[in-house]
A and B are shown apart, each in its own frame.
Chain A
């Protein structure tokens, strides 16, 4: 089996464009979630949403929506590929692994809104080229000269974590020399209003594991990671990981924590580690009542003594299918600098027994666990370590 290391990364979130800008923003304090406008049938609704920094939402224009999405993806993927320093031939053979829950549905929404203005009987998803989830990856391949296979993972909040698991396996097993993993989620009305309909949105900052938790704030993000066999000093790599289906409920993990504990246990087993070997843990932490309970119960089942625990969604918002990758890229960048990201004032004391790290904490080198739990009972746990 070949090695497989993270050799290039790009990151654009609500905190900033670029890994350095994201790290710098962590020195500031939380700001209340801004509002984004969901437009539908001549109506508008303002909803809390952590949109991408420095890239305003385009309003009601499909062409501008597509341009914005392309620009964000191009810059983020470009940064990752540049850092990876692949030759043209290596880039051409690179496989693409996309994780997203919404693809380019924001563009489809804008096109449909525009079409309805002209023709009240216009059809949704009547696009050029024809509407297909896989078209999104083909567009990325064409724009970046990628001629390897493409796989688009659509497993809700675990999508880009699952994309990473399989990309890693493809490189390790020698089927691909390099893989590009992309996690992306951009604002769209269906997601914003769908979560509002589920009564899962908070009007305030997210407070995972806090007694005052009252739901999530959605966020936009785009992250890209190049995987390859070339070990570089300080490069992180995936030491292990697991993905399991929890059939307790479509929209919540089993509250007894058993399925959460099991997926973490499997991830540890695949990494050849015991719970005591984990130096720090990044929770999924959606600040919803049931999922935080399930996640907390799972952690208590597995760990006799919890390692330092952090949550990144108070900073980034819940970026759904993209969170698997952007939270990993940000976590690893901070760990490389030697600190664990803090969330001041959130879950300093927890009714669930999960006290989050409050201030930036010196973090030694070690094995780090990152957890993700999604709709459709899709649970994924990753273990990373620096080379």
Chain B
């Protein structure tokens, strides 16, 4: 399961209080002032728009979009308005509680008319949609795909930390990370290749897969996702024989779909030609991405 990476785009914002206004960034990126959308959709438009900048993404490009938490802001507003204040949901707020509202705005902004899916996964949000997109590209169900993840904060930040069960001093951030992927084409420049995205139900299965890859320690960097246990990570690095650690998470505030940043950061700033990225879920399973520059 592999696909070429034609482009990537990101928006990473350390959380502030009050939250940074994103309207200007949305207009800069999309060329239009998109009205009546919340922060979650704004971040999706910025990340996807930056990914598509400088290229004409064909209309038959599919959208695969993920999040760890979804559009918290809209859901919280609707819940507080209804159950605390006794006001019924406003039509637009209610419609925007549907998470694929963001897919709609991304597709409309980039004039896309192909597949569109919003998929969530507690720990492996970005990995999940990447896996589906790779499969669809490989089986020709999609000719190319925009794959992205977004997680946004809500304010007050203290309440947001409480809701996520995070320590009071945990730095928070927002991230929107997108890749445009597809098959190798002579007319389309590429910046890298996703050579694998696999899920394994336990560590022995993952270890066997890694061992069979025979990765070159000089060429391949090792990176870990935010949900993997440090001990498991060391064992896996030893199994792979990799010592070059690529730390894209250093200094990054907390948000659920950090894995989305790994590939773009690797392509932008590592001396290695290959990246093995391993993340874990709460059931003892692992998601692994293998990327080549």
Contacts and interface: CB of A to CB of B under 8 A. Distances in A.
Contact of A170 (B90, B95, B135, B281): B135
Contacts of A43: 86
A40 B88 CA distance: 9
B156 to A, nearest CB: 10
B10 interface: no
Contact of A196 (B88, B101, B285): B88
B162 A123 contact: yes
A193 B78 CA distance: 11
Contacts of A132: 68-69, 120, 122, 256
Interface residues on B, range: 35 or more
B29 interface: no
**Which of A133, A142, A153 counts the most chain B CB atoms within 10 A?**
A133
Given A149-B199, A156-B100, A244 B115 contact: yes
B79 A375 contact: no
B56 interface: no
Interface in B239-273: 256
Interface of A (DSSP majority class): mixed
A265 interface: no
Given A40-B86, A245-B115, A141 B95 contact: no
Interface in B93-128: 94-95, 97-101, 103-104, 107-108, 111-125, 128
Interface residues of A, number: 69
Contacts of A156: 98, 100
Interface string B75-90: 1101110111110111
A246 to B, nearest CB: 8
A41 B113 contact: no
B155 to A, nearest CB: 12
A244 B142 CA distance: 11
Given A133-B69, A169-B139, A197-B94, A245 B132 contact: no
Given A125-B163, A149-B199, A134 B120 contact: yes
11 contacts: A41-B82, A130-B165, A132-B120, A152-B121, A173-B138, A175-B135, A194-B91, A197-B90, A197-B91, A198-B91, A378-B100
Interface of B: 1, 63, 67-70, 72, 75-76, 78-80, 82-86, 88-91, 94-95, 97-101, 103-104, 107-108, 111-125, 128, 131-132, 135-136, 138-139, 141, 159, 162-165, 199, 201-202, 256, 281-285, 287
